[in-house]
Structure 1
Amino acid sequence: MKRRDYGQYCGLARAMELVGERWALLVIRDLAAQPQRYTDLLNGLPGIPTNVLSTRLKELEQAGLVERRIAPAPQRSVQYALTPVGQDLEPAILSLGRWGASQLDEPKPGDVVTPGSVTLSLRAVFDPVAAAGLNASWEIRSPDMVLHAAVTDGQLDAGVGPLPGKPDLVITFDPDGLASYRALIQAAKCGLVELDGPRTLLDTFLSVFPLPKTNPAATKTPAAPKANAKVSH
């Protein structure tokens, strides 16, 4: 497939030429969470055809955004990881994620939530002002995923998998539906989580990782036309 060329000397146009193809930003999102094998990416991006994933990885490698690495022992498998140039995309991805979260309606049948997407949600909503001077760590567990978030002197480290070492608070929840970040916060606010550690750190978690405001227009159900209304075509 020939890549887009917008023919404009513009930074945004160049960015779209490099990462504007379908699935490209979601590949980068998952690699921002952690380096992954090809099969990990395939499993974490339900619906992506194998040939499309291979093409996107090749394009992102050629652009200098993604590189191949050999995983440490005992795996010794090939992993894909973001280069420093690719890592520079994270602030833009987080900003897009925050904006997109404000446009989310209720989940549709077939929607999925991946550990990588929840990890990036944690990074996107993190409030550095509320976390100023804070030192605390959390491990979030659901039936399908384990994540961690640690704040050291106000700086966040959030990733997929358990926290190295003992977390200050373990939050376990079993959502009735998708294990999204929004579902986690709603469950925490309603007391539908199990805690292993000081409850005060749950309140800290809620203040440091606030839910983004939702655009009312995104969740507004269109009014049905009146029975006698004239419908234009």
Structure 2
Amino acid sequence: MPRRSYDHYCAASRALDVVGDRWSLLVVRELCSGPRRYSDLFADLPGISTDILAARLKDLERDGILTRQRVGPRASTAVYELTPAGAALRPVLEALSDWGTTLLGDRRPTDAVRPHWFALPLGRLIAERLGTGTATVHIGDTVFHVTVDPGGITHRDGPAAAPDAELHFDLPTATAVATGALSLGDATTEVRWP
């Protein structure tokens, strides 16, 4: 199927031609923390249908945003990973996260939530506090680490090998910090800073 286009000679329009479809940027958000299998993406994108996920992955691969590799016995499992062009969308997601934080309000009963979705807003707050370095973040059973260096902020699944800081939150506390209702410094006593 040919790609739909706004047909505007505008950089924002061209960018939206590639990542403006519903779910596309959320697929990129999921891949910011590292490679994912199809089943992982499907589990962490509640509400997406298998047909839409397959279509978005195909479109994003065609447009050079992600790659698909076959792994496992007889190369039976597909793993998706961002390309450099896809990873370059992280600042876009950070800006959307910053802008959208004020829109969160109270969590509705129908709202899905995954602890790793807080990596973007927490990453910004960690960068403000840490300057440069690495912090391991625990939100319940979910663990990821945030790296801050001159190239920007990144996050990956799992703990850092030798973190400069370690933070432990429950989900309500992580939510309060991410939304600004609670400062990072006041969030927990289980924080180790350099």
TM-score (norm 2): 0.79
1:153 is displaced (CA, Å) by 7.4
> Following superposition of structure 1 onto structure 2, how do residues 47-66 of structure 1 map, counting pairs within 5 Å?
47-66=47-66
Residue of structure 2 in register with 1:164 after alignment: 161
1:139 is displaced (CA, Å) by 2.1
What one-letter code is carried by the residue in structure 1 that aligns with 2:169? Answer: F
- Report the secondary structure of 1:33's partner residue: coil
1:115 is displaced (CA, Å) by 4.2
Residue of structure 2 in register with 1:112 after alignment: 112
Aligned length: 192
- Report the secondary structure of 1:140's partner residue: strand
Does structure 2 retain, via aligned residues, the 8 Å contact 1:142–1:179? Answer: yes
5+ residue gaps, structure 2, are none
Does structure 2 retain, via aligned residues, the 8 Å contact 1:119–1:159? Answer: no
Name the structure where helix makes up a greater proportion of residues.
2
Residue of structure 2 in register with 1:174 after alignment: 170
Which of 140, 144, 148 is the matching residue for 1:143? 140
> Following superposition of structure 1 onto structure 2, how do residues 89-108 of structure 1 map, counting pairs within 5 Å?
89-108=89-108
Does structure 2 retain, via aligned residues, the 8 Å contact 1:150–1:157? Answer: yes
Measured in 1, the distance between the counterparts of 2:15 and 2:137 equals 34
What one-letter code is carried by the residue in structure 1 that aligns with 2:146? Answer: A
Measured in 1, the distance between the counterparts of 2:138 and 2:150 equals 24
Name the structure where strand makes up a greater proportion of residues.
2
What one-letter code is carried by the residue in structure 2 that aligns with 1:172? Answer: H
Going from structure 1 to structure 2, the CA distance change for 1:131 and 1:143 (only over 3 Å counts) comes to closer
Measured in 1, the distance between the counterparts of 2:105 and 2:25 equals 21
1:36 is displaced (CA, Å) by 0.6
Going from structure 1 to structure 2, the CA distance change for 1:64 and 1:169 (only over 3 Å counts) comes to closer
Residue of structure 2 in register with 1:85 after alignment: 85
5+ residue gaps, structure 1, are 205-233
Measured in 1, the distance between the counterparts of 2:151 and 2:58 equals 37
Is 2:190 the counterpart of 1:195?
yes
1:76 is displaced (CA, Å) by 8.3
- Report the secondary structure of 2:69's partner residue: strand
Residue of structure 1 in register with 2:67 after alignment: 67
1:44 is displaced (CA, Å) by 0.8
1:92 is displaced (CA, Å) by 1.6
Measured in 1, the distance between the counterparts of 2:72 and 2:165 equals 29
Measured in 2, the distance between the counterparts of 1:55 and 1:35 equals 18
